[in-house]
């Protein structure tokens, strides 16, 4: 029982999934460039951000055109409006990877992250990867159980973020203010990456169930 509307909605959802893949790749590459001082990789992430922005732009046009041509109502309309929101969150997640890559580039040939903090940043990257991977599953299968799990996965990121601030505030911090500023902003970029993923997951949950995720 497929029709043009649902075929096009599927195609839009496939593009969202592709966007989420590009965002995950950008985040992984951005962290790698940050932790290894790889300027070329940082430049790649910075250039790729335009691709993500272009996909969002194209996706929004397709969504609005589909609304205009098919005039969906009720859950179909809400579903389409959700794609506008999800693409905006994914685009923003791409921006955060872009900011991380720009930090790596700004400090080249030096490195923004001191050796002491590299394991913690690597943990934040692993948390971001886990979040990004689950987010792709949520988008692909409209998986509401995993959508709910993402909030807990993001708690891991928030814990790591608090741990990072704790290190910066430790009595033995010896890397100066510039590195503290870099690490404060980097920590926030990873944290916000997780927040946007939770926001997308909550939206998928609402689209599928008609219920809002209730905060515990």
Site residues for its own copies per CB under 8 A: 60, 64, 67-68, 71, 73-74, 77-78, 81, 84-85, 88, 165, 168-169, 173, 177-178, 180-181, 184-185, 188
How far are the Cα atoms of 46, 94, 124 from residue 106, in angstroms, in the given order? Answer: 12, 18, 21
71-92 in b/e form (b: 16+ CB < 10 A) is: ebeeebeebbebbeebbbbbbb
Is the C-alpha dihedral spanning 74, 80, 85, 86 positive or negative?
positive
Nearest-approach distance from CB 205 to its own copies, in angstroms: 16
- Least distance in Å: CB of 202 to its own copies? 13
Between 98 and 134, CB nearer to its own copies: 98
Shortest Cβ 133–its own copies spacing (Å) = 26
CB of 68 to its own copies, least distance (A): 4
Which of 5/173 has CB closer to its own copies?
173
Positive or negative, the Cα torsion across 142, 134, 213, 96?
A: negative
- List Cβ neighbours of 188 (8 Å cut-off, separation of 6 or more): 161
Minimum distance, C-beta of residue 125 to its own copies, in the bound complex (Å): 21
Closer residue to its own copies (CB): 36 or 50: 50
């Amino acid at each position: 029982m497929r029709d043009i509307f649902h075929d096009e909605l599927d195609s839009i959802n496939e593009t969202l999934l592709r966007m989420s893949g590009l965002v995950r790749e950008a985040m992984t590459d951005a962290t790698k460039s940050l932790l290894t001082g790889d300027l070329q990789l940082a430049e790649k992430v910075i250039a790729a951000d335009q691709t993500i922005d272009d996909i969002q732009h194209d996706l929004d046009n397709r969504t609005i055109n589909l609304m205009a041509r098919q005039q969906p109502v009720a859950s179909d309309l809400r579903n389409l409006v959700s794609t506008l929101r999800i693409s905006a969150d994914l685009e923003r997640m791409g921006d955060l990877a872009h900011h991380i890559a720009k930090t790596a580039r700004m400090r080249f040939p030096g490195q923004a992250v001191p050796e002491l903090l590299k394991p913690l940043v690597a943990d934040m990257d692993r948390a971001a990867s886990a979040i990004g991977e689950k987010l792709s599953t949520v988008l692909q299968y409209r998986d509401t159980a995993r959508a709910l799990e993402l909030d807990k996965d993001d708690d891991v990121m928030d814990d790591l973020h608090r741990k990072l601030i704790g290190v910066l505030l430790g009595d033995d911090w010896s890397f100066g203010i510039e590195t503290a500023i870099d690490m404060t902003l980097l920590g926030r970029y990873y944290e916000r990456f997780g927040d946007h993923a939770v926001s997308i997951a909550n939206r998928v949950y609402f689209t599928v169930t008609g219920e809002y995720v209730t905060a515990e």
